[in-house]
């Protein structure tokens, strides 16, 4: 194994062992390099790798710190992965998303507080079919994020959010506006919100399944066209 990979493992081990806690500061580059037994440059490669997957946070002129290690940070890397996939993989991803999001929506219907319900309704009412694609994408992200957050499961919420990354959403919505399906999609959002308001878990689950499956079907025929 290369020295850099060893260094990555060692730093990871220090975190897993609790030797380095979230927010802790690592020794200066020079010292850390000595401690791990390699050159500064090689150690920097290791630190950089841990930085892109959001395990470390390097602040220039200050020092290197362990991030909060919260799910939403660590799962950011998934967006990167999702972006890189072609249409075939995208369909597989949508199946996963449908599995997660349908159940998450059902869970949200059970757990939603009054405040959360009000926020969701406000979000749905804030939009109609006349806005730009960018605004639709933003709305879509907020809508699904709010539902996912209601589950109280940060890991689940992050996974759902990053599973349909920004660029994928943009592509899909652009297609939907061309196909004239915007209004139907928005009305599905409204129906899901209604089910959550009524705390009707079974209905919310089914509507969410149908909602994702609809987009999925559109993507499937777009991919084959």
Partner DNA sequence: CTGCCTCAGACATCCGATCAATGGCTAGGA
Partner DNA sequence: TCCTAGCCATTGATCGGATGTCTGAGGCAG
Contact positions toward a second copy, by CB under 8 A? 4, 8, 12, 15-16, 41, 44-46, 48-49, 51-53, 55, 69, 71, 74-75, 77-78, 80-81, 83-85, 89, 92-93, 95-96, 99-100, 103-104, 153-156, 159
Minimum distance from residue 72 beta carbon to DNA (Å): 22
The entry of DNA, a second copy, none near residue 213 (CB within 5 to 8 angstroms by kind) is: none
Between CA 66 and CA 26 the distance in angstroms is 7
Neighbours of 105 (CB within 10 A): 28
Lookup: tokens for 100: 């997660």
Q: How far apart (Å, rounded) are the C-alpha atoms in residues 41 and 111? A: 50
Q: Considering CB under 7 A, how many residues would be counted as binding DNA?
A: 22
Residue 39 CA to residue 180 CA, distance in Å, equals: 58
Cβ 191 to a second copy shortest distance, Å: 22
Instruction: Work out whether 198 is an interface residue with DNA (CB under 7 A).
Output: no
Which of residues 16, 59, 88, 113 is near DNA by CB under 7 A? 59
**Is residue 89 involved in binding DNA (CB under 7 A)?**
no
Q: Kindly tell me which residue out of 16, 18, 60, 84 binds DNA, with binding defined by CB under 7 A.
A: 60
Concatenating the DSSP letter of every residue in 47-74 gives HHHHHHTTSEEEETTTEEEE----HHHH
Q: Phi and psi dihedrals of 180, rounded to 5? A: 70, 25
Cα–Cα distance, 165 to 163 (Å, whole number): 6
The distance of closest approach from Cβ of residue 58 to DNA in the complex, given in angstroms and rounded to an integer, is 4
Which residues of this protein are in contact with DNA, per CB under 7 A?
A: 2-4, 26, 28-30, 37-42, 44, 47, 58-64
């Amino acid at each position: 194994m290369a020295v850099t990979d060893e260094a990555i493992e060692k730093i990871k081990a220090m975190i897993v062992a609790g030797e380095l806690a979230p927010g802790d500061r690592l020794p200066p580059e020079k010292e850390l390099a000595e401690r791990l037994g390699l050159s500064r440059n090689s150690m920097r490669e290791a630190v950089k790798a841990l930085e892109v997957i959001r395990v470390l946070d390097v602040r220039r002129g200050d020092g290197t710190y362990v991030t909060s290690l919260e799910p939403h940070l660590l799962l950011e890397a998934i967006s990167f992965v999702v972006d890189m996939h072609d249409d075939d993989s995208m369909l597989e991803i949508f199946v996963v998303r449908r599995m997660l999001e349908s159940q998450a929506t059902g869970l949200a219907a059970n757990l939603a507080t009054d405040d959360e319900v009000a926020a969701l309704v406000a979000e749905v009412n804030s939009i109609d079919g006349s806005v730009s694609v960018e605004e639709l994408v933003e709305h879509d992200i907020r809508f699904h994020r709010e539902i996912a957050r209601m589950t109280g499961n940060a890991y689940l919420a992050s996974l759902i959010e990053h599973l349909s990354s920004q660029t994928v959403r943009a592509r899909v919505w652009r297609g939907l506006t061309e196909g004239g399906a915007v209004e139907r999609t928005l009305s599905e959002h409204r129906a899901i919100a209604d089910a959550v308001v009524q705390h009707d878990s079974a209905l919310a689950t089914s509507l969410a399944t149908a909602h994702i499956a609809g987009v999925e079907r559109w993507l499937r025929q777009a991919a084959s066209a």
